[in-house]
Amino acid sequence: MNVLITGVSRGVGLEISKLFLENGHTVYGISRTESEELKTLEQQYPENLFFKIFDLSNPEEIKQSVFKEFVTNHIPIHVLINNAAMAYDDIVTNLNYDDLKTMFDVNLYSPMFLTKYAIRNMIYNRIAGSIIHISSISAHTGYKGLSMYAASKGALQSFSKNISREWGERGIRSNIVVPGYMETAMNAKLTAEHKSRIFKRTALKKETDMRSVAETVLFLSDERSRSITGQEIFVDSGTL
């Protein structure tokens, strides 16, 4: 399968890319930087990993930069994974429009435009493809300081559900993976005490394993999940 995925330089996107490559798939990855880990992966899989530097805070440039210069219609896209996101942590009384707008460009508007052009590619190539968006447990359970970020994820979830209805007749599926807290750069600022409070809210009393998230994404991308669409799959150590 050919997989278009955002946010491949580190964290969950890097882990998902590794798993798809290990399973023989071809990965077309996007992020703003080419990390050392990503470079190592590119050397390991020179025939199957392609990378494009692109800043997702510019959704209006997606058509030209991603779908004309990177994955043209001659490259059939079987899977789109909208993984890249940024956090905008603050309480709402400090809300700033520019910060909010940038976050929505990255977390919502770019995934929407990537979905638009990926579906066009799937239709052109007669592919019953799979779209997977990475949400967050914060869209379901309240956390102080995450209301703006959670709102962007909640909107993505509604988008996915409706896309599944809109394109289901063509065999195109759209699902959400909802991870809990993971140790990545996104959470670098959290204190040990804050983390421990988050873990206490989970049934398993621990962080979410990135590999478990990646395995779920792989499952949702292939034939094993052929009857699953419009769903939200929680991979969150049981945040109840």
Ligand X SMILES: NC(=O)c1ccc[n+]([C@@H]2O[C@H](COP(=O)([O-])OP(=O)(O)OC[C@H]3O[C@@H](n4cnc5c(N)ncnc54)[C@H](OP(=O)(O)O)[C@@H]3O)[C@@H](O)[C@H]2O)c1
Q: Which residues sit at the interface with ligand X, rule CB under 6 A?
A: 6-13, 31-33, 55-57, 83-86, 106, 134, 136-137, 179, 181-182, 184-187
Give the nearest distance from C-beta 125 to ligand X in angstroms: 25
CB closer to ligand X out of 26 and 187: 187
Quick one: three-class SS letters along 75-130?
Answer: CCCCEEEECCCCCCCCCHHHCCHHHHHHHHHHHHHHHHHHHHHHHHHHHHCCCCCE
Give the nearest distance from C-beta 42 to ligand X in angstroms: 14
CB closer to ligand X out of 225 and 239: 239
Residue nearest ligand X, CB atom distance? 11
Give the nearest distance from C-beta 171 to ligand X in angstroms: 26
CB closer to ligand X out of 3 and 106: 106
Phi/psi of residue 131, each to 5°?
A: -115, 130
Give the nearest distance from C-beta 126 to ligand X in angstroms: 30
Between the alpha carbon of residue 75 and those of residues 3, 88, 109, 121, the distances in Å are: 10, 34, 23, 8
CB closer to ligand X out of 55 and 99: 55
